[in-house]
C-alpha cells in the first residue's frame, strides 16, 4: 500500500504519542489524558495513517493516583516487581534461557546496523529493551521514511527496518506485555486508560505489519548511519 507524506508522518506521530504515554507520568500528560487531548491526538493520527477509529477512555483519577498506579504496573509494584514490566528482559520467555545481555545485544545490534542511537540520561527509559525506547525508535525510523522520499532505496530500507523490528523485537515483547497489563488492571481495579493504551499499541503494530505485508519485497539497502533517536520536532497535539 502506497502512503502519502502526511500519512507516513502520522504513523510516526502515533508511535511517538504512545512512547510519551508509557513514560513516567508528568502532570502535563495527566492533564491531556484527563481532558482527552491525548486521546484526540492519537485517534487523529491513526485515522489519517491507517483509516481506523479507536475509542480511548478518559483518565478518571487524580495525578497522585495516576502516578501510583503507573509505579505499581511498570516500576516497582507492591512486592518490588512491576506487574507489567516495560523492559523486554523482564520476561523469562523472551530470554529463552539466555542471560539478559544476550537479549540486550539483539537490540544493540539492530540500533547499530541502522544508525539509531538510544536516548541517554533517562534511567531505565534509556535502556535499549525499554518499551519507550523501542517506540521512539519506530517513530524516528518512520519519520526518516517520510523524509527519504518516495520510492528511494533509503525509504525502502527504513520500511524493512520497521517491519523487522516489530516482528523480531517489539512484537514478542507486546505479546507478553499487553495481556499482563490487561489482567493487572482488571485485578487491581486500576484506571481503564492503562489497559486501553496497551490495546492501542497492539492495534498499531498489527496495522503496521498488515501494511508492510502488502508492500511486497522491499530493499535491504542500509539507511544512513549516525541518526539519534530524539523524535521529530513537531506539535503532537495539533
pLDDT of 10 strictly over 90:
yes
What confidence tier does 2 reach under pLDDT thresholds 50, 70, 90?
low
In whole angstroms, give the CA distance from residue 42 to residue 27.
18
**Could you report the per-residue pLDDT of 47-80, keeping only the tens digit for each?**
999 999 999 999 999 999 999 999 999 998 777 8
**Could you report the per-residue pLDDT of 94-103, keeping only the tens digit for each?**
999 999 999 9
Share of the chain above pLDDT 90, in %: 67
In whole angstroms, give the CA distance from residue 118 to residue 139.
12
**Could you report the per-residue pLDDT of 151-171, keeping only the tens digit for each?**
678 888 899 999 999 999 999
**DSSP per position, 212-236:** HHTS-----PPPPS-EE-----S-S
Q: Is-contact 91 85, C-beta < 8 A?
A: yes
Largest pairwise CA distance in the chain: 52
Q: pTM for the full model?
A: 0.86
For the chain, what are the domain ranges? Answer: 5-228
Q: What CATH number has the domain spanning 5-228?
A: 1.10.3480.10
What confidence tier does 222 reach under pLDDT thresholds 50, 70, 90?
very low
pLDDT at position 93 is 95
pLDDT at position 200 is 98
Amino acid at each position: 500500500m502506497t502512503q502519502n507524506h502526511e500519512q507516513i508522518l502520522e504513523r510516526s506521530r502515533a508511535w511517538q504519542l504512545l512512547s510519551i504515554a508509557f513514560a513516567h507520568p508528568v502532570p502535563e500528560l495527566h492533564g491531556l489524558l484527563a481532558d482527552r487531548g491525548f486521546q484526540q491526538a492519537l485517534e487523529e493520527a491513526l485515522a489519517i495513517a491507517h483509516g481506523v477509529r479507536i475509542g480511548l477512555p478518559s483518565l478518571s483519577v487524580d495525578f497522585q493516583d495516576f502516578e501510583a498506579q503507573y509505579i505499581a504496573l511498570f516500576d516497582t509494584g507492591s512486592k518490588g516487581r512491576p506487574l507489567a514490566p516495560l523492559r523486554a528482559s523482564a520476561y523469562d520467555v523472551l530470554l529463552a534461557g539466555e542471560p539478559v545481555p544476550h537479549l540486550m545485544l539483539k537490540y544493540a545490534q539492530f540500533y547499530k546496523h541502522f544508525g539509531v542511537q538510544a536516548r541517554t540520561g533517562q534511567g531505565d527509559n534509556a535502556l535499549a529493551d525499554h518499551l519507550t525506547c523501542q517506540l521512539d525508535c519506530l517513530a524516528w525510523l518512520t519519520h526518516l521514511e517520510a523524509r527519504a522520499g518516495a520510492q528511494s532505496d533509503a525509504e525502502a530500507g527504513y520500511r524493512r527496518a520497521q517491519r523487522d523490528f516489530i516482528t523480531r523485537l517489539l512484537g514478542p515483547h507486546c505479546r507478553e506485555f499487553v495481556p499482563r497489563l490487561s489482567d493487572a488492571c482488571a485485578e487491581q481495579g486500576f484506571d481503564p486508560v492503562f489497559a486501553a493504551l496497551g490495546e492501542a499499541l497492539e492495534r498499531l503494530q498489527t496495522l503496521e505489519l498488515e501494511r508492510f505485508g502488502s508492500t511486497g519485497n522491499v530493499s535491504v539497502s542500509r539507511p544512513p548511519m549516525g541518526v539519534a533517536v530524539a523524535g521529530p520536532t513537531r506539535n503532537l497535539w495539533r
